[in-house]
């Protein structure tokens, strides 16, 4: 049982984490081993984020004090939260890959809360974002799509020029 001082310390820590974050990603870690949770924490640190397991009631109080309009007690399962200063697209991919490895044990992505837009993102939506290729790959594909017509036009011009030179 936590003392009042310990609870206040946890609430302050959650407030500080929430202020420094853009996105809160919620997971259900039921059935996940301690070793797997350590692995997720390590992955989160690599993204500059933190994975915390905090009682929902304490988190609700901390959110109320820091002005976050979300009630974590709406989730019925055990709750782990990733506090991330990065965008959802950068965090969701890593968490999705981890969830695919341990999904059969009960780990689930429950959803995310965007602190900048003050909106909740459903778990399925977060999973779909996680399935997308990284931003750099998408930009590379877009550049290829935009460059293809220009390359084809240059090829056609080159062929026409060869025809004109050969016919002279």
- CATH number for position 36: 3.30.70.1730
**Which strand ranges, in their side-by-side order, compose the sheet holding 50-53?**
50-53, 80-84, 23-28, 108-114, 119-122
Cα 163 to Cα 159: distance, rounded to the nearest angstrom = 6
Whether 54 and 109 map to the same domain: the answer is yes
Whether 44 and 34 map to the same domain: the answer is yes
pTM score = 0.79
Whether 57 and 111 map to the same domain: the answer is yes
**Rounded to whole angstroms, what are the CA distances from 39 to 5, 57, 65?**
30, 26, 31
Q: What is the pLDDT along the chain (168 residues), one digit of tens a residue?
A: 788 999 999 999 999 998 999 999 999 988 888 999 999 999 999 999 999 999 999 999 999 998 888 889 888 888 999 999 988 888 998 899 998 888 777 889 999 999 988 899 999 999 999 998 887 888 899 999 999 999 999 999 999 888 888 876
Cα 168 to Cα 155: distance, rounded to the nearest angstrom = 20
Whether 91 and 163 map to the same domain: the answer is no
Domains identified in the chain, total number: 2
Residue range of the domain that includes 138 = 134-168
Whether 117 and 138 map to the same domain: the answer is no
Whether 125 and 68 map to the same domain: the answer is yes
- According to DSSP, the β-strands at 80-84 and 23-28 are antiparallel
Output the six-digit token pair for 168: 């002279």
């Amino acid at each position: 049982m936590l003392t009042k001082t310990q609870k206040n310390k946890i609430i302050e820590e959650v407030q500080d984490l929430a202020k420094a974050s853009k996105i809160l990603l919620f997971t259900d870690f039921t059935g996940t081993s301690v070793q797997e949770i350590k692995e997720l924490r390590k992955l989160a640190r690599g993204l500059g984020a933190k994975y915390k397991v905090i009682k929902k009631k304490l988190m609700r109080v901390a959110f109320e004090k820091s002005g976050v309009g979300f009630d974590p007690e709406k989730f019925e399962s055990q709750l782990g939260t990733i506090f991330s200063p990065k965008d959802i697209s950068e965090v969701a991919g890593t968490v999705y890959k981890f969830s695919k490895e341990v999904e059969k044990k009960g780990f689930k992505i429950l959803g995310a809360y965007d602190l900048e837009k003050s909106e909740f993102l459903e778990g399925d939506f977060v999973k779909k974002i996680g399935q997308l290729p990284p931003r750099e790959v998408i930009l590379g594909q877009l550049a290829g799509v935009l460059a293809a017509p220009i390359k084809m036009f240059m090829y056609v011009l080159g062929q026409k020029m060869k025809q004109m030179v050969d016919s002279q």
